[in-house]
Chains A and B, each alone.
Chain A
Amino acid sequence: MDSSVEKSVIRSVLSKSLSRDIETLVRKWGCFSESDIQKLNFRATKSAIASQIFELCKELGLKQEIGDLDLLCTQLHSSSKKWTVLKLKGGQLKTDLDPQDLRDRLVAVLETDCLGDVHLNVKSYGGAIWIRVYVQGAAPFKTTDVVYVLSYPHTPILIACRMKVKMQEIVYSALVEVFESEEVTELQLTGHHLPSLADLALQQTSQGPFWKYRNIEEAVNPLIRSKVSTKSVTSEDKERETDERLMDENREEKQSRQERLDSTFGTHAQPTLEKLEYKLDLRFRGTTFAPGMKGQPDLFHCRVKFEGPSVLEGTKNLGRTGFASLPLPRHLAKVHSLAKNHFTVAEMDSARKRPSSQSK
């Protein structure tokens, strides 16, 4: 490995993390002994710390491990990247590889495919195997050239960060070969919050009546029967309960709304997604106010984006607060089951015998 690359990797890692977290990060990495860490001055500027760490790595002869540091940093700051969910297709997938095995196979495949030096790090973390790939070519190191892929053992689900098209071809074909699959397809599911993406991709059947089963199954000990208080009680509700003079006229309506929403979304916290995107190829439906558009055969093309810190929670709240009528359409309410956040909604006849508002 060229020493300038190592230095840039260390610098990029430090620039991504907060200065007060650097010490814990280095300790977690575990490549320096206690006495080495004592030597480092964590009060200095980030660039000074970077050169200290770099010198120390040179002394100890650490090269491969610097990639691990970068991987560790990415694991801790995973929400700063945009992730795409992939699915492996094929009858006999080999998804029970342990990290070392996976590494050996990937190296073998990538080194034949790539022009340049392949840097590969594989680590198991949080129920997934994390893979870091960097192919060193003639160009100087850029953080955007590094590819991160997560593999969930025993499932066909992979999650990859955004990468360049050229890299994508190489990486996808390598993944196909390593997992002995037929092809890799992108589920149209992207976002920043990894646990939610994994949850949506892996638990497609968890909507509707299944959430109850899942709640029980995932409890600490399913044999212990404890009162399940999933509903959050707001201060407003409390006040209402204590003061008998206060009375909510719309209480019944609100309750029935809440029940209907709970039956579709469940009472648990919704997975975090930042964006829902729709492409609508439908006929115009706003004809009450534009009677001239009645019987118009052409489609009215539009795109709709729902954005926010947690869109699924938001759609549930739209129903709760009355900004939307219930029941919500399928493509808005069943995001969990469909496991994607980019939709195309097409008219029935144009999409050949699909029910209208069915997502492709």
Chain B
Amino acid sequence: METPRTTPSTSLALCYTSPRRTCPYRRTPRQRRLAGPKLSTSPVSSGRLRRSPVTQNVEKPGALPGLTNKTWQVLYLSPLYKFSTQPQALKQYGRSLATFLVQEADKEIAVDNGCTKQCVFSVYEGLRVNAADPEAIQILVTTKATNGNKKTNGGQVLLTAVLCGIDLESNPCTGLKKHFTYYPILLVKSRVTLSALLKSWLQRHFDCRISPLMPTSMDLAWMVAMWSGTLAERKNKPVELLYSVPEECEGLSRITYTINAEDCKTLWDSIRSKGSDDFTGEEVGAFVKSLEEHFYECFKVKLWKMELRRVGTPLAYIGDGKVKIFSPENAWQVLRLLSELALEQFQLLATT
């Protein structure tokens, strides 16, 4: 396993990780993979394979129904205890969650409009890149029409959630007994109250811990640097960096820096060393630093002293614990990095 430790080799990287950068600091890997999954060097022995890798599935556009062009809340999890993907077990989870939701609804004062909820757990196809990946699970909570008004509010989707983990380099459960299944991230889209209920049910039922995944300034810098060069074919979303201005500077709260996607690609190409699948810390430093320098030359404002809060790339918009993915072809790339960050976050918590 590669230890995520930064040993800046050049002065550039040193400059980028210098203490002037906003906190919090975490160890950052020296490089991250940019291109497709390394199938040849997959650490999984073929003996454990139950299925052949489904990479072809991923490349098919539209293979991920309902995942793209939606704003998801991103959460990270600790390993789930006694979680099974057997159809029977999934059915039972659905019933259990539905009962739980009914109980919780009873506790509150009648705000609900009297409709019961139906919960369905199902296997979400097309998100497996590596044979070692756990099968992605989709959780769907819909309203079930009760007294006759089927047409009006039956089948209305209240919550969509996807449990997934893509192309992890290591599994924290390998040393443990096989009762544990590790899903690094959970994507949720629903009202806050309902997602909180789902969270508490999962925590109780599988004895795990769920918290929102908040990428740091540094992680966001990685994302914007890695994905700015990947352009979709048609209309390209511009590259966007949103900085929050520190509180002592009253009157100004945020600065949005939007860059034309094609122009950004030119810059990216000039920085990126060709012929390598890995993206290095030095390249990230050079990319973000040069953008900030350009801004400084235009406005004399030092962006590197501010916190990077949200980034937008042609692939996805990420920030404040939320993600919105644009193209299904590259969704796995975004989700893989999120899984990686979630794993790093979890390992950080597990070791301290």
Q: Which residues of A contact B (CB under 8 A)?
A: 270, 280, 282, 284-290, 292-293, 296, 298-318, 321-329, 332, 345, 357
Report the bound CA distance from A20 to B330 in whole Å.
Answer: 54
Q: Which chain B residue shows the least CB distance to A270?
A: B251
Q: A302-B257, A314-B252 are in contact. Are A323 and B293 (CB under 8 A)?
A: no
B: residues with CB less than 8 A from A are 12, 238, 245-246, 248-260, 263, 266-267, 270-271, 285-287, 289-302, 305-306
Known: A285-B297, A286-B290, A293-B270. A302 touches B253 (CB 8 A): no
B295 surroundings in chain A (CB, below 8 A): 286, 304
Complex Cα distance, B248 from A345, in Å, reads: 29
Q: Which residues of B contact A293 (CB under 8 A)?
A: 266-267, 270, 290
B266 proximity list for chain A (CB < 8 A): 293, 296, 298, 300
Instruction: Using A284-B267, A328-B299 as known contacts, list a sample of 16 further A-B pairs with CB atoms less than 8 Å apart, ordered by residue number in A.
Output: A286-B294, A289-B293, A300-B294, A302-B263, A304-B298, A304-B299, A305-B256, A307-B252, A307-B256, A308-B252, A310-B252, A313-B250, A321-B248, A323-B301, A324-B300, A327-B300
Taking a contact as CB atoms under 8 Å apart, the answer to whether A289 and B299 are in contact is: no
Interface contacts (Cβ under 8 Å), in number, total 146
Residues of A within 8 Å of B290, CB to CB, are: 284, 286-290, 293
Contact B301 A292 (CB under 8 A): no
Query: Which residues does chain A contribute within 8 Å of B299, judged by CB atoms?
Result: 304, 324, 328-329, 332
Contact across chains for A292 and B252 when beta carbons are under 8 A apart: no
Say yes or no: B255 contacts A302, CB within 8 Å: no
Residue contact A290 to B259, C-beta cutoff 8 Å:
no
Q: Which of chain A's residues have a CB closer than 8 A to the CB of B260?
A: 300-302
Closest Cβ of chain A to B284, distance in Å, is 11
Q: Is the CB of A290 within 8 A of B286?
A: yes
Q: What are the 6 A-B residue pairs with the smallest beta carbon separation, nearest first?
A: A314-B252, A292-B270, A314-B251, A313-B251, A286-B293, A286-B290
Task: Determine the chain A residues whose CB is within 8 A of the CB of B255 once the complex forms.
Answer: 304-307
User: Please, how many angstroms separate the alpha-carbon atoms of A326 and B302 in the complex?
Assistant: 11
Task: Determine whether the beta carbon of A307 is less than 8 Å from that of B253.
Answer: yes
**Bound complex: CA of A316 vs CA of B305, how far in Å?**
17
Contact between A300 and B259 (Cβ–Cβ < 8 Å)? yes
Q: Name the residue in B250, B286, B293, B294 with the highest tally of chain A Cβ atoms < 10 Å from its Cβ.
A: B294
Residue of A285, A287, A308 near B298 (CB, 8 A) is A285
Q: Which among A302, A304, A307 has the greatest number of chain B C-beta atoms within 10 A? A: A302
Say whether B302 contacts A323, CB under 8 Å. yes
Please name the residue on chain B nearest to A319 by beta carbon.
B300
Return the contact of B258 from the options A302, A309, A311, A345 (Cβ within 8 A). Answer: A302
B293 engages A302 (CB within 8 Å): no
Contact of B300 among A286, A288, A310, A325 (CB under 8 A): A325
- Contact residues in A for B286 (Cβ distance below 8 Å): 289-290
Would you give the shortest CB distance from B288 to chain A, in whole angstroms? 9
Question: Could you list 9 examples of A-B contacts with CB < 8 Å?
Answer: A284-B290, A286-B290, A286-B292, A302-B294, A307-B253, A309-B251, A314-B245, A317-B248, A327-B300
Q: In the complex, which of the residues B254, B256, B257, B293 contacts A285, with contact meaning CB atoms closer than 8 Å?
A: B293
Residues of B contacting A316 in the complex (Cβ-Cβ under 8 angstroms): 251
Known contacts A301-B259, A301-B260, A308-B254; A289 and B289 CB within 8 A of each other: yes
B285: chain A residues at CB < 8 Å are 289
A153 to chain B, nearest CB (A): 32
Q: Given A286-B297, A289-B293, A317-B252, are A301 and B12 also a contact pair (CB < 8 Å)?
A: no
A289-B289, A290-B290, A298-B266 known; A308+B251 contact, CB < 8 A: yes
Could you say which of A307, A321, A323 contacts B254, with CB atoms under 8 Å apart? A307
Contacts of A321 in B (CB 8 A): 246, 248-249
For A303, the chain B residues whose CB sits under 8 A away are: 238, 256, 258
Contacts known (A289-B12, A323-B245); A328 close to B294, Cβ less than 8 A: no
Closest to B255 in A: A306
Does A312 contact B251, Cβ atoms closer than 8 Å? Answer: yes
Q: How far is the CB of A5 from chain B (nearest CB, A)?
A: 32
Chain B residues with CB below 8 A from A345, complex form:
298
- B298 to chain A minimum Cβ distance, whole angstroms, is 6
Q: In whole angstroms, what is the CA distance A323 to B251 when docked?
A: 14
* CB closest residue in chain B, given A280: B298
Instruction: Kindly state the separation between the CA atoms of A275 and B71 in the bound complex, as whole angstroms.
Output: 25
